[in-house]
């Protein structure tokens, strides 16, 4: 059963990788399609205004464009870590447990020794 789950995690990780790389490519080519970037660059001037001791200052839209691009990069890193987690979990569940293999090997050797001593 754990091997089946392992294959499921592996397939899920590879599927996420294929779909996510495509989607991330779309976001990099056209950042306006990324929701956080779109929201940041369309902030009204009242929301971009900060109060200082000397008066008010309106932050330029470019400042928020950089923040939006950084959010796309951070989403990419998050995506890569989730894919790595899925694939490593799947591979870990698929590979055989060495203790089980050793136990089976010892039982087989004992069975062969008993057969050799009796036969």
What integer pLDDT is reported at residue 37 of this predicted model?
92
pLDDT 10s digits, 32-44? 999 999 999 999 9
Indicate the SS3 state at residue 44.
Answer: coil
Region 23-38 average pLDDT = 91
Region 98-118 average pLDDT = 83
DSSP 8-state assignment for residue 31: G
What integer pLDDT is reported at residue 91 of this predicted model?
87
Are 40 and 65 in contact by the 8 Å Cβ rule? The answer is: yes
Q: Is 13 exposed, middle or buried (0-12, 13-18, 19+ CB in 10 A)?
A: buried
23, two tokens: 């989607």
Q: Where are the domains of the chain?
A: 2-118
What integer pLDDT is reported at residue 3 of this predicted model?
81
pLDDT 10s digits, 42-95? 999 888 899 888 889 988 988 899 999 999 999 999 999 999 999 998 888 888
Beta-carbon-side half-sphere exposure of residue 62 (alpha carbons within 13 Å): 1
Give the Cα separation of 85 and 97 in Å (integer): 19
Beta-carbon-side half-sphere exposure of residue 30 (alpha carbons within 13 Å): 5
What integer pLDDT is reported at residue 6 of this predicted model?
86
What integer pLDDT is reported at residue 84 of this predicted model?
94
Give alpha helix (H) positions in the chain.
2-29, 35-41, 45-48, 61-94, 98-118
Whole-structure pTM value: 0.69
What integer pLDDT is reported at residue 119 of this predicted model?
58
């Amino acid at each position: 059963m754990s091997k089946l789950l392992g294959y499921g995690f592996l397939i899920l990780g590879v599927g996420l990788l294929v779909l996510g790389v495509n989607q991330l490519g779309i976001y990099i080519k056209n950042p306006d399609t990324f929701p956080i970037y779109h929201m940041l660059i369309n902030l009204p001037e009242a929301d971009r205004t900060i109060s200082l001791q000397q008066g008010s200052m309106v932050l330029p839209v470019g400042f928020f464009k950089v923040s939006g691009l950084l959010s796309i990069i951070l989403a990419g890193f998050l995506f890569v870590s989730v894919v790595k987690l899925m694939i490593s979990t799947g591979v870990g569940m698929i590979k055989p447990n060495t203790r089980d293999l050793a136990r089976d090997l010892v039982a087989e050797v004992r069975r062969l020794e008993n057969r050799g001593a009796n036969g």
